[in-house]
Structure formats: C-alpha cells, structure tokens
Structure 1
Amino acid sequence: MNHFIDDEIPNRDLNQTLRSFVDAKDHLHFSELVFYHYFSFGGTDTDKAETLGAGIELLILSFDIFDDLEDEDSPNEPWMKMNRSVALNAATALYTLSIKVSTSVSNNPVFLHKLMEYILESSQGQHDDLRDQPVTEEECLDMIKRKSGSLTALPCVLGTMLATGEFNKTVETYAYQLGIASQIENDYKALFYNTKSDIVKKKRTLAYLYLSRKFNQASIDLLNIFENEDKFADIEIKCYKEKLKTAGVTQYMYVMNQLAIQKLKKGMAQLTIGEEEKKRLISFIMDVFSEEV
C-alpha cells in the first residue's frame, strides 16, 4: 500500500503521516477477501487483485480513522495522538486515494456503482450509529448491516466482479451476514475495554438494548454500573463476566452471532463454483472471520 502513497502523495509530511497510519494496521483481512473471491471465481491477474486489495484496505483504514475520530476511540492509534484537524485531512486524503486505486482495475460502470453504493450505505449506517438512532434490537441489527455489512460485502463482491465481470447477488447476500457476525463479535469483545466500550457511553448497542429490557436483577445491576464510569472501571473482571452471563448478555450475543453465521453458511452453499474452490473459500472465511463469541 505504501507504494501507492508514494506515487500519489508527494507532500513529504502527509506522505509520512499516511505511512504511519498504514503501519498501524495489524491485519489485511479485506484484501484477503478480495484475493479469495477473485481466484475462486476464476481470476488470473494477480497484479489487478493486489491493486484492488490494496485500494480496499486503504478505504477500510480511512473509515476506521473516521470512526475513531468521531467516537473518540482507540487513544493509542497514531491518528488519535495528533492534531485532530491534521488527522481528519490525512484520512480524507487516504479515502480519496483508496477510490482512485480501487477504480483503476476496472472500466465496468457497475463496478464503480457498487463501490460507491456500499460506501454510501456504510456512511448512512454510521450516521445512525452516531445519532444513536436504533431503539429496538431489530433496528440495531439493520444499522449493523448497513454500517459493517456493506463494507464486508465490498471486497467480496468487487473481487468476484473483477474475475467475472458480473455482479453476484449470492456473494453480496452472504457477505452482509459475514459483516454482521464479525461486528457482533467485535461488539461483545468491546464490552471488556472501558476506553472503547459503546456500552459505557450508553449507546444503543445490541447488548445495551437487551439489558434495557431488564429481564432480571443482573440486567438492572449492569445498567446501574454502566451509569457510573468509575463503577465500571472498579468492577472485577470475573464478577463482570458472571453478571453478563447471569443477565443473559453472553448467551444472547453468541446466539445472534451464530444466527448470522448460519445464514452465511447457507448462502455460501449456494455458490456455483467448483467444489474445491468453494471448500477453500468457506474454510478461509470460517477460520478468519467467524470465531465464536
């Protein structure tokens, strides 16, 4: 990814800033989704696959930065340690660069249309998240689908389109479920990090909406704890985990994660590609993206 930054960003300070952002990435799962879909559907041009993968990774990184700046999360990331205006401008440059790189691999108008469609859909999901719009668990799941599902569908669909030249609805459908499952898993893990926990901020996450139904005393106790950040910081992790389990949050998040995974598996079973390619694609996705909550 750095060579695309070097090619397009001659400003030395901005160049080095963007490089520091890229260096902070600890995985490249979205480019892997591009590769596995591209080659599973018969693609042969490795350079094009690598370019698209890099472009999408730059896009996802820019969205991650925007998200952290908007939510004031992840204080240890390089973009959170600098002037917010500088970080915002750098993220905008990164976003613009990602579009240029991603679209350089195809002249198919549908390819560009789907790219922008997923970006706009995710932005609208993010808007509802920032506005704390969901008031029911169903609305929260819909927000997750738009915010995270669309960005997961993006590499899967575009990787497939780059190989075949055609939009594949089956791929889009299961890719949304992959994004939902991954986000639910991440949201559960975030419950244990008070510096990055939406629930401490009283945001209407799936877990918070579930607790708000006050099924038992443990739910009420947890809601009271979340009302006071000092109480949350002081609670012992073992006790906290037990309360989450007693309240039913752990089981609920697991079930919701598994429902999405089952829909993902059902969708992937409908793929019309070779059995070996299908097994390889399913194995990769389940190994990397679908760990149990």
Structure 2
Amino acid sequence: MRTTIQLIIKDILLTSGLEYDIQKLTLQLLHQSGKIFSQNKKDFTWGEFSYYVFSLLTETEVSHTTKMKQAAGIELLMLATDLFDDIIDHDNCLDTPIAKPQSLMIGNLLLVEALHLLMPNTASFKTDRFAIIHHYLRTAGNGQWLDFHLTMEHPAATEEQYFHIVQQKSCSFLQLIFELHSSTVPSPILQEIAIYIGYGAQLQNDIRDIFANHKSDLLHQKATLPLIKAVQHSNTYDHGWLLKQLQLIRSQDVATKHLTTIREYIYQTGAIDYCSILAKYYTKKAKSLLQHYFNDKSPYIKQIIHLID
C-alpha cells in the first residue's frame, strides 16, 4: 500500500510543473518520520490512514487508483500544514533544514497540489466537497491561531480549553477525511470517531514533545495538557516552582541540565501518566466505535486500528 502511494506521489510531482528543486525538497520532506516515504514501516502516515478510511466508507466500485490519488492528496495536504505548523511553533523538525521563506512557498504550493488531487478524486456525488475541505481547513486554522496564543501565562490554560483547541486544530483534519466519503453510518458517529482519534494522537504527540529537544513547547510555555497538569500540581504542592522555572528558560540561554530537571519534575508530578491514560482511553473509544459500526469490513478496520495504535 505504502509503495503504491509513493509511486503515485512521485508521478504527481514529476508531472506537476513544479520546479525541480521544489520536487526534490518535497520528496526529502516526505522521507521523514511519520511521512509516506519513511523507512519505518510502523509509522503512522496520513496517506495510508486516508486510503483505509476511504475504503471503509465507499462502495466497491470506486477504483483503487482513485483511492490512491485521494490518499496522495491527503499526504501532501498534511505535509503543507506541518510546514506551516513548524514555522508558527518555531520548531526545527526537519532533517534537512529549510529557510522559512522556502517553507512557506513549498507549503502553499503543496496545498494547491493537494486540492488539485482531492477535488476530482473524491466521490462524485459530494458536490459540496470543496465546501467540506474549506470548512475544516478554516476550522483548523482558527484552532492553530488559538493554540499559538494559549500559553501557561494565559488564564484560560485549562484542560477544557486544551481539548477545545485540539478539537479545532487537530481533529479537523481527521473529520475532513471522514466527511469526504459516503457511509451508511450517520455523520455524527464518524465525527465522534475522528475526534477520539484526534484526542488520542494529540496527547501522545504532546507527551513526546515535552522530552524532544527540537520542539519548543517548554521554551514557549505552550499550554499542552502535560504541562497544564504539571503546573497545576506545582501550584498546589510546590508554591508554583515549575512556572518559575519555565519563566527562567525564556530569560536566559537554555542549559541542558536545567531542561532535564524540569522534564524530570513534570514526569514525577504524574502528568505524563495522566495524559498517557487519557490517550489510551480515547483511542480505545475510537476503536470500539469502528468495530461496532463497521464489523462487516474487518480488514480495513484492522489496518486503521494498527495505524492509530
């Protein structure tokens, strides 16, 4: 499956009319962890996930090639949003560093290419498919805006606010994938499945990011749930020690030892365990709904569950 999507993306890039350097950089970016050309076959990829959801929700007469092109479109769309996200968050997640102006240009071009693939390859009866894509991309953009402004210095940095933003910023992409396709299952159920998958995935990402040197969550005091819970614990039991240490990070060069101390403290508060349990809970709810409503399509269910696990 992954190899076929890779071949389609290569063909799309070669015939896209994009400059050779843009094609080359795009392929380099798609070789990173979590992308369709990644060497780690266990990685979640948006292209594969999209293909199996498409197969789950469409009838058998939809061609294999159509599903693959749609999956390729989703893969390019998510790469574009990842580029924008890294710029906004001041992260450096690229194996091959790219200047911000280049990232912006490539992101915009890939967004256009993704729409060019998605529009003709989504089910023909979905005459409002552009409206669906527009709605969820706009919702995700609004969520990203709120996420950028929500730090631990903000009075609204609560667990409830965190999930409100995650539903907008992260779950919208999953909802887009489910909404684009037909199904006998009511749309609210599909939206619920998408939200649970999104919650579980975002929690796992936020846990990893706390301990990743290339991420800036601690530096910018981003109000992710692990940090929210750890700060609440610190305010209750340690006179706000953690928030004071986070503020020191912003006022001086970050020492590795200092970051290690902060990360160990966050772990000891139980915030990581709390978020890990929540992530498993939401992923389990998503799997339960998938198995209940699609028990007649178990091969696709198994593949989707494998990816979200």
Question: Shorter-normalised TM-score: what interval?
Answer: 0.7 to 0.9
Does structure 2 retain, via aligned residues, the 8 Å contact 1:174–1:267?
A: yes
Q: Does 1:88 align with 2:104?
A: yes
The 10-residue stretch of structure 1 (24-33 or 172-181) with the greater mean CA deviation from structure 2:
24-33
Residues matched between the structures, number: 280
Q: Does 1:233 align with 2:264?
A: no
Structure 2 counterpart of 1:65, from 60, 71, 83: 83
**Structure 2 counterpart of 1:196:** 215
CA offsets per residue over residues 116-149 of structure 1, 9 Å max, x none? Answer: 2211111111111112275221011110111111
**Structure 1 counterpart of 2:278:** 256
Deviation at 1:64, TM superposition (A): 0.3
Q: 1:125-136 maps to which residues of 2 (within 5 A)?
A: 125-132=143-150, 134-136=156-158
Deviation at 1:165, TM superposition (A): 9.6
Deviation at 1:235, TM superposition (A): 4.7
Q: 1:170-209 maps to which residues of 2 (within 5 A)?
A: 170-209=189-228
CA offsets per residue over residues 252-280 of structure 1, 9 Å max, x none? Answer: 21232133224323432441x3x251x43
Does structure 2 retain, via aligned residues, the 8 Å contact 1:145–1:180?
A: yes
Distance 1:236 1:212 in 2: 15
Letter in 2 for 1:39: S
Structure 2 counterpart of 1:8, from 5, 16, 29: 16
CA offsets per residue over residues 60-118 of structure 1, 9 Å max, x none? Answer: 0000001111112125443xx23322221121011111111111213422332222221
Distance 1:9 1:240, change over 3 A: same
The 10-residue stretch of structure 1 (31-40 or 45-54) with the greater mean CA deviation from structure 2:
31-40
Calculate percent identity across the aligned residue pairs.
19
Does structure 2 retain, via aligned residues, the 8 Å contact 1:180–1:260?
A: yes
Deviation at 1:286, TM superposition (A): 3.3
Does structure 2 retain, via aligned residues, the 8 Å contact 1:137–1:209?
A: yes
Distance 1:188 1:103 in 2: 35
Letter in 2 for 1:126: Q
Distance 1:209 1:36 in 2: 35
CA RMSD of aligned residues (A): 2.7
Which ranges in structure 2 are unaligned for 5 or more consecutive residues? 1-8, 37-44
Does structure 2 retain, via aligned residues, the 8 Å contact 1:156–1:171?
A: yes
Distance 1:10 1:200, change over 3 A: closer
Q: Does 1:101 align with 2:122?
A: no
Distance 2:286 2:93 in 1: 33
Structure 1 counterpart of 2:307, from 283, 288, 291: 288
Structure 2 counterpart of 1:111, from 105, 129, 132: 129
Does structure 2 retain, via aligned residues, the 8 Å contact 1:199–1:226?
A: yes
Letter in 1 for 2:115: I
**Structure 1 counterpart of 2:56:** 40
Does structure 1 retain, via aligned residues, the 8 Å contact 2:179–2:190?
A: yes
Deviation at 1:16, TM superposition (A): 2.9
Distance 1:73 1:60 in 2: 16
Does structure 1 retain, via aligned residues, the 8 Å contact 2:32–2:94?
A: no
Structure 2 counterpart of 1:74, from 92, 97, 109: 92
Q: Does 1:215 align with 2:236?
A: yes
**Structure 1 counterpart of 2:188:** 169
Deviation at 1:46, TM superposition (A): 0.5
Does structure 2 retain, via aligned residues, the 8 Å contact 1:199–1:205?
A: no
Deviation at 1:242, TM superposition (A): 5.0
Which ranges in structure 1 are unaligned for 5 or more consecutive residues? none
Distance 1:18 1:269, change over 3 A: closer
